[in-house]
Amino acid sequence: MNMRKVLVRSCLAAVMFIFLLGAGFKKAKASDFDPGFYASYYPDVAAAYGTDPNALYSHYLTFGINEGRFKNAQEAATGHRDDTLDTPTTYVDVDLTNQQMIYYVDGAPVLSSAIVSGNTSNGNGTPTGVFFINAKVPGKYLVGPTWNVWVNRWMRFTGAVGLHDASWRSEFGGEIYKKNGSHGCVNLPSDVANSLYDMVNIGTMVIVH
């Protein structure tokens, strides 16, 4: 590997570490996290998020760590929490400020695109946090109070919010989201949505910030 590649990879790793440190993203290995314990020990979380393991894990990463919650019975018994930092290597990064999506595989960016996220002027901003893709559908209607649109690639990551193509848009990025954004979803160009759909799986991490 030449010196330039080494430098690029080192800079990328440093940037990711700083971002995750600032975002409060901390280590919580799936093997250490016990969704059954988490749901029973914190009934308020189970009532709001259900008992799906990925939904509970998402809550722990996004809120639980900062709230001082335990991820398993051993931590609860000892009162000691393991919150050492860890860097995910394969995930979808959604940057709302810069209106950009980047998909990383083993720490390397393999797909990037401008996006249009939720319309912040009417309170439909895209939710931030650590999520997981929990549904993949090759084609479906997205139906709501004032909309009924067909998308070819649907990748849901929380509630009724997901990543999908938006063939009705001719432009992405910039400040479109502020007044002409989505109802919360992350809109992608059709070719990008097609590619991302083929790359991700159920359980792929999605970090929205």
Chain segment 146-196, per-residue pLDDT in tens: 888 999 999 999 999 999 999 999 999 999 999 999 999 999 999 999 999
Report the amino acid identity of residue 140. Answer: K
Task: Assign 29 a pLDDT band (cuts: 50, 70, 90).
Answer: low
The C-alpha atoms of residue 130 and residue 60 are separated, in whole angstroms, by 9
Q: Report the chain's mean pLDDT, rounded to a whole number.
A: 86
pLDDT surpassing 60 at residue 9: no
DSSP the chain: --HHHHHHHHHHHHHHHHHHHHHT-----TTT--HHHHHHH-HHHHHHH-S-HHHHHHHIIIIIHHHT--SSHHHHHHT---------SSEEEEETTTTEEEEEETTEEEEEEE-B-B-GGGT-PPPPEEEE--EEESSEEEE-SS-EEEES-EEEEETTEEEEE-TT-S--STTHHHHH-BSSSEEE-HHHHHHHHHH--TT-EEEE-
115 touches 181 (CB < 8 A)? no
Q: HSE-up of 92 (CA within 13 Å, CB side)?
A: 32
- pLDDT, position 203: 87
- pLDDT, position 40: 97
pLDDT surpassing 50 at residue 14: no
pTM here? 0.76
Percent of the residues in the chain that have a pLDDT greater than 70, as a whole number:
83
- pLDDT, position 8: 35
